[in-house]
Protein backbone atom coordinates (compact mmCIF):
# COMPACT_ATOMS: atom_id res chain seq x y z
CA UNK A 1 0.00 0.00 0.00
CA UNK A 2 1.45 3.35 -1.03
CA UNK A 3 1.67 6.52 1.06
CA UNK A 4 -1.31 8.15 -0.71
CA UNK A 5 -3.59 5.22 0.14
CA UNK A 6 -2.45 5.23 3.76
CA UNK A 7 -3.06 8.96 4.01
CA UNK A 8 -6.57 8.60 2.56
CA UNK A 9 -7.37 5.74 4.94
CA UNK A 10 -6.00 7.74 7.87
CA UNK A 11 -8.06 10.79 6.87
CA UNK A 12 -11.17 8.67 6.38
CA UNK A 13 -10.69 7.01 9.76
CA UNK A 14 -10.26 10.40 11.43
CA UNK A 15 -13.44 11.76 9.84
CA UNK A 16 -15.40 8.66 10.88
CA UNK A 17 -14.05 8.84 14.44
CA UNK A 18 -14.77 12.56 14.69
CA UNK A 19 -18.36 12.10 13.45
CA UNK A 20 -18.94 9.21 15.82
CA UNK A 21 -17.59 10.99 18.88
CA UNK A 22 -19.47 14.24 18.10
CA UNK A 23 -22.59 12.77 16.53
CA UNK A 24 -24.91 14.52 19.01
CA UNK A 25 -23.47 17.90 18.03
CA UNK A 26 -23.40 17.27 14.27
CA UNK A 27 -26.84 15.64 14.02
CA UNK A 28 -28.74 18.91 14.43
CA UNK A 29 -26.66 20.67 11.77
CA UNK A 30 -27.27 17.81 9.37
CA UNK A 31 -30.99 17.92 10.19
CA UNK A 32 -31.12 21.68 9.54
CA UNK A 33 -29.39 21.29 6.15
CA UNK A 34 -31.81 18.49 5.21
CA UNK A 35 -34.79 20.63 6.22
CA UNK A 36 -33.53 23.57 4.16
CA UNK A 37 -32.93 21.40 1.09
CA UNK A 38 -36.29 19.63 1.44
CA UNK A 39 -38.38 22.80 1.78
CA UNK A 40 -36.26 24.57 -0.84
CA UNK A 41 -37.23 21.87 -3.35
CA UNK A 42 -40.85 21.54 -2.23
CA UNK A 43 -41.49 25.31 -2.41
CA UNK A 44 -39.61 25.78 -5.71
CA UNK A 45 -36.95 27.90 -3.99
CA UNK A 46 -39.38 30.19 -2.14
CA UNK A 47 -38.20 28.89 1.23
CA UNK A 48 -34.61 29.86 0.42
CA UNK A 49 -35.46 33.32 -0.92
CA UNK A 50 -33.92 36.39 0.71
CA UNK A 51 -37.26 37.66 1.94
CA UNK A 52 -38.33 34.35 3.50
CA UNK A 53 -34.99 33.80 5.25
CA UNK A 54 -35.27 37.30 6.72
CA UNK A 55 -38.79 36.44 7.88
CA UNK A 56 -37.52 33.14 9.32
CA UNK A 57 -34.91 34.98 11.40
CA UNK A 58 -37.53 37.39 12.72
CA UNK A 59 -39.93 34.51 13.48
CA UNK A 60 -37.20 32.58 15.31
CA UNK A 61 -36.03 35.52 17.46
CA UNK A 62 -38.32 35.21 20.46
CA UNK A 63 -38.01 31.40 20.55
CA UNK A 64 -34.21 31.59 20.34
CA UNK A 65 -34.02 34.06 23.24
CA UNK A 66 -36.30 31.88 25.39
CA UNK A 67 -34.35 28.75 24.44
CA UNK A 68 -31.03 30.29 25.53
CA UNK A 69 -32.43 30.87 29.02
CA UNK A 70 -34.15 27.48 29.06
CA UNK A 71 -30.83 25.78 28.25
CA UNK A 72 -29.37 26.98 31.56
CA UNK A 73 -32.48 25.88 33.46
CA UNK A 74 -32.37 22.39 31.90
CA UNK A 75 -28.60 22.03 32.41
CA UNK A 76 -29.12 22.41 36.18
CA UNK A 77 -31.96 19.84 36.02
CA UNK A 78 -34.89 22.20 36.49
CA UNK A 79 -37.66 23.37 34.18
CA UNK A 80 -39.63 26.59 33.69
CA UNK A 81 -43.15 26.18 32.36
CA UNK A 82 -44.15 29.80 33.01
CA UNK A 83 -41.91 31.49 30.41
CA UNK A 84 -44.56 31.55 27.68
CA UNK A 85 -47.10 33.57 29.62
CA UNK A 86 -44.42 35.61 31.38
CA UNK A 87 -43.36 36.67 27.87
CA UNK A 88 -46.96 37.24 26.79
CA UNK A 89 -47.84 39.26 29.90
CA UNK A 90 -44.73 41.45 29.90
CA UNK A 91 -45.09 41.96 26.13
CA UNK A 92 -48.60 43.28 26.83
CA UNK A 93 -47.29 45.51 29.64
CA UNK A 94 -44.73 46.98 27.24
CA UNK A 95 -47.52 47.75 24.77
CA UNK A 96 -49.56 49.46 27.51
CA UNK A 97 -46.57 51.56 28.63
CA UNK A 98 -45.88 52.62 25.04
CA UNK A 99 -49.53 53.54 24.60
CA UNK A 100 -49.29 55.92 27.57
CA UNK A 101 -46.53 57.78 25.72
CA UNK A 102 -43.56 56.50 27.70
CA UNK A 103 -40.30 56.57 25.72
CA UNK A 104 -39.34 53.21 24.19
CA UNK A 105 -35.82 53.40 25.66
CA UNK A 106 -37.39 53.59 29.14
CA UNK A 107 -39.95 50.87 28.42
CA UNK A 108 -37.33 48.26 27.41
CA UNK A 109 -35.24 48.37 30.64
CA UNK A 110 -38.42 48.61 32.78
CA UNK A 111 -39.80 45.42 31.22
CA UNK A 112 -36.44 43.66 31.57
CA UNK A 113 -36.33 44.61 35.26
CA UNK A 114 -39.89 43.34 35.75
CA UNK A 115 -38.74 40.07 34.20
CA UNK A 116 -35.91 39.86 36.73
CA UNK A 117 -38.40 40.48 39.56
CA UNK A 118 -40.54 37.58 38.30
CA UNK A 119 -37.43 35.38 38.17
CA UNK A 120 -36.42 36.39 41.69
CA UNK A 121 -39.89 35.42 42.96
CA UNK A 122 -39.77 32.01 41.28
CA UNK A 123 -36.10 31.45 42.10
CA UNK A 124 -36.85 32.21 45.77
CA UNK A 125 -39.61 29.59 45.87
CA UNK A 126 -37.40 26.96 44.21
CA UNK A 127 -34.03 27.59 45.88
CA UNK A 128 -34.98 28.96 49.31
CA UNK A 129 -38.41 27.50 50.09
CA UNK A 130 -37.76 24.23 48.28
CA UNK A 131 -40.89 24.14 46.12
CA UNK A 132 -40.15 21.95 43.05
CA UNK A 133 -39.51 23.98 39.89
CA UNK A 134 -42.25 22.11 38.02
CA UNK A 135 -44.87 23.12 40.61
CA UNK A 136 -43.58 26.69 40.99
CA UNK A 137 -43.52 27.44 37.28
CA UNK A 138 -46.77 25.59 36.56
CA UNK A 139 -48.41 27.89 39.11
CA UNK A 140 -46.62 30.80 37.43
CA UNK A 141 -48.08 29.74 34.09
CA UNK A 142 -51.62 29.99 35.50
CA UNK A 143 -50.90 33.28 37.29
CA UNK A 144 -49.39 35.06 34.29
CA UNK A 145 -51.99 33.68 31.92
CA UNK A 146 -54.59 35.24 34.19
CA UNK A 147 -52.68 38.53 34.37
CA UNK A 148 -52.40 38.60 30.56
CA UNK A 149 -56.17 38.14 30.29
CA UNK A 150 -56.71 40.93 32.81
CA UNK A 151 -54.56 43.53 31.04
CA UNK A 152 -56.03 42.75 27.62
CA UNK A 153 -59.68 42.16 28.51
CA UNK A 154 -60.63 45.79 27.98
CA UNK A 155 -59.47 46.13 24.36
CA UNK A 156 -58.65 42.52 23.43
CA UNK A 157 -55.70 43.60 21.32
CA UNK A 158 -53.32 46.44 22.22
CA UNK A 159 -51.91 48.07 19.09
CA UNK A 160 -48.29 49.26 19.13
CA UNK A 161 -47.56 52.30 16.97
CA UNK A 162 -44.04 53.18 18.13
CA UNK A 163 -41.77 52.77 15.08
CA UNK A 164 -38.60 52.11 17.08
CA UNK A 165 -40.25 49.35 19.08
CA UNK A 166 -41.73 47.76 15.96
CA UNK A 167 -38.28 47.81 14.33
CA UNK A 168 -36.96 45.38 16.97
CA UNK A 169 -38.52 42.44 15.12
CA UNK A 170 -39.40 44.01 11.78
CA UNK A 171 -36.51 46.35 11.03
CA UNK A 172 -33.07 45.96 9.48
CA UNK A 173 -29.64 47.45 10.09
CA UNK A 174 -29.16 50.73 8.16
CA UNK A 175 -27.85 50.73 4.62
CA UNK A 176 -24.69 52.83 4.89
CA UNK A 177 -23.61 51.92 1.37
CA UNK A 178 -24.87 49.68 -1.44
CA UNK A 179 -23.15 47.67 -4.16
CA UNK A 180 -25.75 47.84 -6.91
CA UNK A 181 -28.86 46.35 -5.29
CA UNK A 182 -26.81 44.59 -2.64
CA UNK A 183 -26.80 45.76 1.00
CA UNK A 184 -23.11 46.63 1.41
CA UNK A 185 -22.97 46.76 5.21
CA UNK A 186 -24.38 43.24 5.43
CA UNK A 187 -21.63 41.93 3.15
CA UNK A 188 -19.03 43.78 5.22
CA UNK A 189 -20.39 42.19 8.42
CA UNK A 190 -20.20 38.79 6.72
CA UNK A 191 -16.53 39.35 5.84
CA UNK A 192 -15.75 40.46 9.41
CA UNK A 193 -17.57 37.37 10.73
CA UNK A 194 -15.38 35.13 8.55
CA UNK A 195 -12.20 36.86 9.78
CA UNK A 196 -13.24 36.60 13.45
CA UNK A 197 -14.28 32.97 13.05
CA UNK A 198 -10.97 32.07 11.39
CA UNK A 199 -8.97 33.87 14.08
CA UNK A 200 -10.97 32.14 16.81
CA UNK A 201 -10.41 28.71 15.26
CA UNK A 202 -6.65 29.22 14.92
CA UNK A 203 -6.38 30.61 18.47
CA UNK A 204 -8.35 27.71 19.93
CA UNK A 205 -6.23 25.18 18.03
CA UNK A 206 -3.01 26.83 19.19
CA UNK A 207 -4.13 26.80 22.83
CA UNK A 208 -5.09 23.14 22.63
CA UNK A 209 -1.71 22.26 21.11
CA UNK A 210 0.03 24.31 23.82
CA UNK A 211 -1.44 22.07 26.52
CA UNK A 212 -0.98 18.88 24.48
CA UNK A 213 -4.68 18.30 23.82
CA UNK A 214 -5.63 16.24 20.79
CA UNK A 215 -6.55 18.33 17.71
CA UNK A 216 -7.85 17.42 14.28
CA UNK A 217 -5.40 16.95 11.42
CA UNK A 218 -4.46 19.97 9.28
CA UNK A 219 -6.62 18.93 6.26
CA UNK A 220 -9.69 18.44 8.49
CA UNK A 221 -9.02 21.73 10.27
CA UNK A 222 -8.81 23.72 7.03
CA UNK A 223 -11.83 21.92 5.58
CA UNK A 224 -13.84 22.91 8.67
CA UNK A 225 -12.83 26.57 8.27
CA UNK A 226 -13.62 26.51 4.55
CA UNK A 227 -17.02 24.91 5.18
CA UNK A 228 -18.01 27.41 7.89
CA UNK A 229 -16.75 30.28 5.70
CA UNK A 230 -18.92 29.06 2.84
CA UNK A 231 -22.01 28.92 5.06
CA UNK A 232 -21.39 32.44 6.44
CA UNK A 233 -20.85 33.88 2.94
CA UNK A 234 -23.98 32.20 1.56
CA UNK A 235 -26.17 33.39 4.47
CA UNK A 236 -24.94 36.99 4.42
CA UNK A 237 -25.10 37.12 0.60
CA UNK A 238 -28.74 36.02 0.67
CA UNK A 239 -29.61 38.56 3.37
CA UNK A 240 -27.74 41.30 1.48
CA UNK A 241 -29.97 40.60 -1.50
CA UNK A 242 -33.05 41.74 0.44
CA UNK A 243 -32.83 44.43 3.14
CA UNK A 244 -29.78 43.28 5.07
CA UNK A 245 -29.38 41.84 8.55
CA UNK A 246 -32.57 42.05 10.66
CA UNK A 247 -32.29 43.74 14.05
CA UNK A 248 -33.65 40.51 15.51
CA UNK A 249 -30.43 38.75 14.43
CA UNK A 250 -28.36 41.47 16.12
CA UNK A 251 -30.33 41.13 19.38
CA UNK A 252 -30.21 37.32 19.41
CA UNK A 253 -26.53 37.37 18.43
CA UNK A 254 -25.73 39.71 21.34
CA UNK A 255 -27.62 37.55 23.84
CA UNK A 256 -25.95 34.43 22.42
CA UNK A 257 -22.47 35.95 22.70
CA UNK A 258 -23.01 37.02 26.33
CA UNK A 259 -24.39 33.66 27.46
CA UNK A 260 -21.90 31.59 25.48
CA UNK A 261 -19.05 33.59 27.04
CA UNK A 262 -20.57 33.22 30.49
CA UNK A 263 -20.98 29.44 30.20
CA UNK A 264 -17.58 28.74 28.67
CA UNK A 265 -15.24 31.39 30.06
CA UNK A 266 -16.39 32.18 33.60
CA UNK A 267 -16.59 30.47 36.99
CA UNK A 268 -20.35 30.91 36.92
CA UNK A 269 -20.55 28.81 33.77
CA UNK A 270 -18.40 26.07 35.30
CA UNK A 271 -20.59 26.09 38.40
CA UNK A 272 -23.73 25.71 36.25
CA UNK A 273 -22.30 22.67 34.46
CA UNK A 274 -21.00 21.30 37.76
CA UNK A 275 -24.44 21.53 39.39
CA UNK A 276 -26.02 19.86 36.37
CA UNK A 277 -23.49 17.04 36.53
CA UNK A 278 -23.76 16.44 40.26
CA UNK A 279 -25.37 19.05 42.53
CA UNK A 280 -24.31 17.30 45.76
CA UNK A 281 -20.65 17.09 44.70
CA UNK A 282 -20.74 20.73 43.52
CA UNK A 283 -22.10 21.85 46.91
CA UNK A 284 -19.48 19.84 48.79
CA UNK A 285 -16.77 21.53 46.70
CA UNK A 286 -17.97 24.96 47.82
CA UNK A 287 -20.43 25.93 45.10
CA UNK A 288 -23.49 27.84 46.35
CA UNK A 289 -26.12 25.75 44.54
CA UNK A 290 -29.07 27.82 45.79
CA UNK A 291 -27.46 31.05 44.58
CA UNK A 292 -26.80 29.61 41.10
CA UNK A 293 -30.37 28.28 40.92
CA UNK A 294 -31.62 31.72 41.94
CA UNK A 295 -29.56 33.27 39.13
CA UNK A 296 -30.81 30.77 36.55
CA UNK A 297 -34.47 31.59 37.18
CA UNK A 298 -33.86 35.36 37.29
CA UNK A 299 -31.97 35.08 34.01
CA UNK A 300 -34.73 32.98 32.44
CA UNK A 301 -37.49 35.44 33.30
CA UNK A 302 -35.38 38.40 32.13
CA UNK A 303 -34.98 36.69 28.75
CA UNK A 304 -38.70 35.90 28.75
CA UNK A 305 -39.31 39.64 29.10
CA UNK A 306 -37.06 40.31 26.10
CA UNK A 307 -38.78 37.54 24.13
CA UNK A 308 -42.17 39.04 24.97
CA UNK A 309 -41.11 42.41 23.58
CA UNK A 310 -39.72 40.77 20.42
CA UNK A 311 -43.00 38.93 19.87
CA UNK A 312 -45.10 42.03 20.54
CA UNK A 313 -42.84 43.99 18.19
CA UNK A 314 -43.20 41.29 15.53
CA UNK A 315 -47.02 41.48 15.61
CA UNK A 316 -47.06 45.24 16.29
CA UNK A 317 -49.61 44.41 18.97
CA UNK A 318 -50.23 42.48 22.19
CA UNK A 319 -52.94 39.83 22.18
CA UNK A 320 -54.62 37.59 24.81
CA UNK A 321 -53.18 34.54 22.99
CA UNK A 322 -49.56 35.73 23.23
CA UNK A 323 -47.35 33.20 25.02
CA UNK A 324 -49.37 30.12 24.15
CA UNK A 325 -46.93 27.24 23.65
CA UNK A 326 -43.80 29.41 23.80
CA UNK A 327 -42.35 27.30 26.62
CA UNK A 328 -42.84 24.13 24.58
CA UNK A 329 -40.91 25.54 21.61
CA UNK A 330 -38.13 26.71 23.95
CA UNK A 331 -37.85 23.32 25.67
CA UNK A 332 -37.96 21.47 22.34
CA UNK A 333 -35.30 23.79 20.88
CA UNK A 334 -33.00 23.11 23.82
CA UNK A 335 -33.32 19.33 23.62
CA UNK A 336 -33.05 19.25 19.83
CA UNK A 337 -29.95 21.43 20.28
CA UNK A 338 -28.31 18.70 22.35
CA UNK A 339 -29.14 19.52 25.98
CA UNK A 340 -29.06 16.24 27.90
CA UNK A 341 -32.26 15.01 29.53
CA UNK A 342 -30.05 14.13 32.52
CA UNK A 343 -28.66 17.66 32.87
CA UNK A 344 -25.06 18.84 32.93
CA UNK A 345 -24.65 18.96 29.15
CA UNK A 346 -25.71 21.64 26.66
CA UNK A 347 -24.50 24.56 24.58
CA UNK A 348 -26.40 27.75 23.83
CA UNK A 349 -24.85 27.84 20.34
CA UNK A 350 -26.41 24.47 19.56
CA UNK A 351 -29.69 25.56 21.13
CA UNK A 352 -29.95 28.30 18.48
CA UNK A 353 -29.71 25.59 15.82
CA UNK A 354 -32.47 23.72 17.63
CA UNK A 355 -34.64 26.84 17.52
CA UNK A 356 -33.95 27.20 13.79
CA UNK A 357 -34.94 23.56 13.25
CA UNK A 358 -38.28 24.08 15.04
CA UNK A 359 -39.11 27.37 13.31
CA UNK A 360 -37.87 26.16 9.89
CA UNK A 361 -40.33 23.29 10.11
CA UNK A 362 -43.15 25.72 10.94
CA UNK A 363 -42.14 28.19 8.22
CA UNK A 364 -41.67 25.52 5.55
CA UNK A 365 -44.92 23.72 6.31
CA UNK A 366 -46.80 27.02 6.27
CA UNK A 367 -45.39 27.78 2.82
CA UNK A 368 -46.49 24.31 1.66
CA UNK A 369 -49.98 24.87 3.10
CA UNK A 370 -49.74 21.98 5.57
CA UNK A 371 -52.63 21.90 8.05
CA UNK A 372 -51.73 23.10 11.57
CA UNK A 373 -52.80 19.72 13.02
CA UNK A 374 -50.15 17.91 11.00
CA UNK A 375 -47.59 20.57 11.90
CA UNK A 376 -47.96 19.74 15.60
CA UNK A 377 -47.62 16.03 14.85
CA UNK A 378 -44.43 16.56 12.83
CA UNK A 379 -42.86 18.81 15.50
CA UNK A 380 -43.77 16.31 18.21
CA UNK A 381 -42.20 13.48 16.24
CA UNK A 382 -38.99 15.46 15.69
CA UNK A 383 -38.86 16.28 19.40
CA UNK A 384 -39.20 12.67 20.60
CA UNK A 385 -36.66 11.50 18.01
CA UNK A 386 -34.15 14.09 19.26
CA UNK A 387 -34.58 13.02 22.90
CA UNK A 388 -34.47 9.31 22.02
CA UNK A 389 -31.30 9.94 20.02
CA UNK A 390 -29.73 11.71 23.00
CA UNK A 391 -30.59 8.86 25.35
CA UNK A 392 -29.26 6.21 22.96
CA UNK A 393 -25.99 7.98 22.18
CA UNK A 394 -25.34 8.61 25.88
CA UNK A 395 -26.09 4.95 26.61
CA UNK A 396 -23.54 3.79 24.07
CA UNK A 397 -20.80 5.92 25.66
CA UNK A 398 -21.27 4.35 29.09
What span, in angstroms and rounded, lies between the C-alpha atoms of 183 and 168?
Answer: 19
Tell which residue, 302, 359, 305, has the closest CA to residue 330.
359
Going by the DSSP 8-state scheme, the letter that residue 246 receives in this structure is B
Please state the pTM of the whole predicted model: 0.91
- pLDDT at residue 10, rounded to an integer: 64
The pLDDT tens digits of the residues spanning 14-51 come to 666 666 666 666 778 888 889 999 999 999 999 999 99
Locate the domains of the chain by residue range: 20-37+45-171+246-396, 174-245
CATH of domain 20-37+45-171+246-396: 1.10.3470.10
Residue 348 contacts residue 71 (beta carbons within 8 Å):
yes
Tell which residue, 52, 36, 65, 74, has the closest CA to residue 305.
65
Tell which residue, 281, 277, 278, 276, has the closest CA to residue 296.
276
Per-state percent for the chain, helix, strand, coil, to nearest 5:
75, 5, 20
The pLDDT tens digits of the residues spanning 342-369 come to 889 899 999 999 999 999 999 999 999 9
Long-range Cβ contact pairs of 44-48 (< 8 A, separation 24 or more): 46/367, 47/363, 47/364, 47/367, 48/238
List, for the chain, all residue ranges whose pLDDT scores fall below the cut of 70.
1-12, 14-25, 394-398
List, in sequence order, every residue forming a beta bridge with 317; answer none if it has no partner.
159
Residue 354 contacts residue 336 (beta carbons within 8 Å):
yes
Amino acid sequence: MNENSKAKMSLGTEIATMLKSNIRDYAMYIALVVIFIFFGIKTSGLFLSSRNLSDLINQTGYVAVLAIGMTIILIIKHIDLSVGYVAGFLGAVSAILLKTGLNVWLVIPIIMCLGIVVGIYQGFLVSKIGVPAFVTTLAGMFIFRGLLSLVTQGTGTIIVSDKTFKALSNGFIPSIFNIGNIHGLTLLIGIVAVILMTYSQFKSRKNMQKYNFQVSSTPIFFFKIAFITLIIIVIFSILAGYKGVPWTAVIVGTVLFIYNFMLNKTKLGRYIYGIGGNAEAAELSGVNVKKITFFAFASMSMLAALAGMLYTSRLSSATPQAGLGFELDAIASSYIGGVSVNGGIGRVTNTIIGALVIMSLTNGMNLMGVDISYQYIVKGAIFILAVAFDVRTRGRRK
